[in-house]
Amino acid sequence: MRRPFTNLTLDERRVISRMLQAKVPKTQIAQMLGRDRSTITREVKLNWWHAAAQAIGHQHPATLAFGLSLGD
């Protein structure tokens, strides 16, 4: 059964931004966030400038698990 539609949170957008900056593949980002790869691809295509501009100030558990920090 499919998961009901939910928008990406600002927290998830920050994770996507930081992980893309670290050259993490979209497939791996999707797995870590529990989202479909197409969701990540769509977010990057439609909202990348917005997500990148706000990618500071918060640490998501997925970035901690991947060894990334916002201060890098």
pLDDT along the chain (72 residues), means of 10: 74 89 93 93 78 53 58 48
Q: What pLDDT score was predicted for residue 10?
A: 85
Q: What pLDDT score was predicted for residue 72?
A: 46
- The token pair at 50 is 């917005």
Nearest CA to 28 among 17, 40, 46?
A: 40
Q: Which residues of 29-48 are buried (b: 16+ CB within 10 A; e: fewer)?
A: bbebbebeeebbeebbeeee
CA distances from 58 to 1, 12, 13, 45 (A): 32, 10, 11, 23
